[in-house]
Amino acid sequence: MCFLPLILDNMWDNELWSKAYVKQAVNDDYLRQEALTSLAKHTYKAEVMGGNLSGYLLNEYQKVHDALGHIPNGDVEDLWRRPTTALPSMFSNLCNDGPMLYIGLLALMNPSQVSVVQLAMLEQAATRLRYTFSFAKHIISLYPTELAGLKNFYRLLDLKNKMKDGCMPYSPAADSSGLSLEVRYESRVLCGCCSSYFQIDRNVSFNYPGAKSERDALKDVSFSIKAGQLVVIVGANGSGKSTILKLLTRYYDTTSGTVLIDGNPIQDYRIADLRSVTASLTQEHTLFPLSMSENIGIGSPSSVTNLDKIAQAAKLAGAQDVIKNFTDGYDTVLEPVKTAHLSYTGRGNEDLKKEYEKMEKTINVSGGEKQRLVASRTFMRMLSEDIKFVIVDEPSSALDPGGEYELFKQLREARKGRTMIFVTHRFAHLTKFADLILCMKGGSVIEMGTHQELLNHEGEYAHLYNVQAQAFT
Ligand SMILES: Nc1ncnc2c1ncn2[C@@H]1O[C@H](COP(=O)(O)OP(=O)(O)OP(=O)(O)O)[C@@H](O)[C@H]1O
């Protein structure tokens, strides 16, 4: 006699997956823990790394973790199956929290060793392992696969970030509110006949690691920016504008040549120190699944509860009216983490579907409104005295012309003597104020100077400028 159908029937009846249901998490601490954990995703990489936010986020994570205490914080299916004995649930908790804490500590001690991508992968691995332990009592045959996963998980812990951190603290010059930047290549070569060293100056080149293209993303680039200058980089798509910003903020190291900050090679400085004096606004920046006030306040973690400063930052970005329109104002969470789930068996059930849709209701804002909200975080960062360097990369693609003009003007005014580099295609009302314009083509800087100098030169910049100017005549 075969007992298998009986065993399967019994398992099926006891399992939540055989039932029609809709679920939603409602515990605030749990929701916050989920939101903070989701910030380890690749989507938020630019912002979390650029804003030096890992310390703040890990601290907040620890707080909610402590607040949750022994309240079971697993998924509802997981809790349904949770065995009554303590040991498996202990394993389950260890798999859930252990890796995050381990990596968190590692990240705090040495930020350059842990990338946000690694954090995200580890979080996924941890969740999978947690499920494995829950399922283990039913599906023993999955063990070999999951043990292989466990091996991969520990291999991930051994991954070292290729970027080597410097050990020199960055201390800004006392007499300047900005930092100076120089991009150049130089090496000392021993002369065969007179045995003395001589200097070769060449320019910076760069290719993305693993890039399939033969062409360098940057080729023979060399320029120098004085502390406190406003620099605008212009040029066609793919000419290398954003790549320059990535080298100046040390997301990548040059293939040849050096970036100097205040006269020292960028590699010598501690990366976290450089990030702590930099404010950025790029197209990659996005809203976090947190309240509006925290979304803005996190730009300056030490002032995250300072509502006056947060309102001031929102005003500078032209976002205060957008926020006023939300019923919950600054407490609104625009893009919350997904907390509701409709079971597979319940999908044909209209009542459950309606319930589910109510739970998953999100607030929609236009692309331009979203850009203003995201820009508020950068203004919050710029309100901090510590910031010496501001980079802005195409922040206004969804703004109307009036909104764009206003944003550029506010960014210029909030600069207050800091070094600022602006990358934009719509530069007509910005370049007149620039101390230096770099005009790029095919990965090289082909023209360099002020607006008037480049107009007089009648080259590529003059051509691009006239195309934009003609649109308004
Ligand atoms: N992550 C990457 N990996 C490989 N190649 C890249 C990567 N990012 C950019 N590139 C390549 O490097 C070159 C320069 O790109 P970059 O983004 O700096 O140009 P850009 O002038 O900022 O362009 P756009 O105006 O379209 O934003 C392009 O050929 C691009 O395809």
Mean pLDDT of 228-240: 94
Atom of ligand 1 nearest to the CA of 246: 18
Q: Please report the pLDDT score of residue 84 as a whole number.
A: 46
* Ligand 1 geometric centre to CA of 244 (Å): 10
Mean pLDDT of 449-464: 95
> Residue 44: which of 300, 303, 379, 289 has the closest Cα?
289
CB 142, CB 229: distance < 8 Å:
no
Nearest C-alpha to atom 20 of ligand 1 is from which residue? 238
CB 440, CB 239: distance < 8 Å:
yes
Kind of pairing between the strands at 444-449 and 436-441: antiparallel
Q: Say which residue the tokens 């389950």 belong to.
A: 92
Nearest C-alpha to atom 7 of ligand 1 is from which residue? 208
Nearest C-alpha to atom 29 of ligand 1 is from which residue? 238
Which helix (H) or strand (E) is 188 found in, with range? strand 181-190
Q: Say which residue the tokens 């006239």 belong to.
A: 466
Which of 243, 244, 284, 391 to probe ligand 1 with, by most ligand atoms within 8 A of CB? 243
pLDDT digits (tens, 9 = 90+) for 41-57: 778 877 887 888 888 88
Could you give the CA distance from residue 410 to residue 160 in angstroms, rounded to a whole number? 40
- Decide which of 370 and 14 is more confident: 370
- Decide which of 194 and 39 is more confident: 39
> CA-CA distances (angstroms) from residue 264 to 72, 83, 176, 269, 362?
51, 59, 16, 8, 48
Nearest C-alpha to atom 14 of ligand 1 is from which residue? 240
Q: Which two tokens stand for residue 161?
A: 């970030």
Angle between helices 143-158 and 86-109 (to 10 degrees): 20
Q: How many residues does the chain have?
A: 473
Q: Please report the pLDDT score of residue 411 as a whole number.
A: 94
* Mean pLDDT, rounded, of the chain: 78
Q: Do the interacting molecules here have an ipTM over 0.95?
A: yes
> Residue 299: which of 284, 320, 325, 309 has the closest Cα?
309
Nearest C-alpha to atom 31 of ligand 1 is from which residue? 238
pTM: 0.78
Q: Computed from CA positions of residues 138, 141, 144, 149, in that sequence, does the dihedral angle turn out positive or negative?
A: negative
- Bridge partners of 422, per DSSP, are 232, 392
* Ligand 1 geometric centre to CA of 23 (Å): 43
* Ligand 1 geometric centre to CA of 213 (Å): 11
Q: Computed from CA positions of residues 360, 366, 368, 369, in that sequence, does the dihedral angle turn out positive or negative?
A: negative
- Bridge partners of 225, per DSSP, are 181
Single-letter residue type at 161: N
Nearest C-alpha to atom 24 of ligand 1 is from which residue? 237
Q: Is the pLDDT of residue 298 over 60?
A: yes
Residues with CB under 6 A from ligand 1: 208, 211, 217, 235, 237-243
Which of 117, 239, 247, 392 to probe ligand 1 with, by most ligand atoms within 8 A of CB? 239
Nearest C-alpha to atom 30 of ligand 1 is from which residue? 238
Atom of ligand 1 nearest to the CA of 240: 18
Mean pLDDT of 19-36: 83
Nearest C-alpha to atom 6 of ligand 1 is from which residue? 208
* Ligand 1 geometric centre to CA of 243 (Å): 6
* Ligand 1 geometric centre to CA of 238 (Å): 5
Atom of ligand 1 nearest to the CA of 212: 4
Q: Which two tokens stand for residue 245?
A: 């910003």
Could you give the CA distance from residue 135 to residue 154 in angstroms, rounded to a whole number? 21
Nearest C-alpha to atom 18 of ligand 1 is from which residue? 240
Mean pLDDT of 298-304: 95
Q: Please report the pLDDT score of residue 46 as a whole number.
A: 77
Could you give the CA distance from residue 73 to residue 298 in angstroms, rounded to a whole number? 26
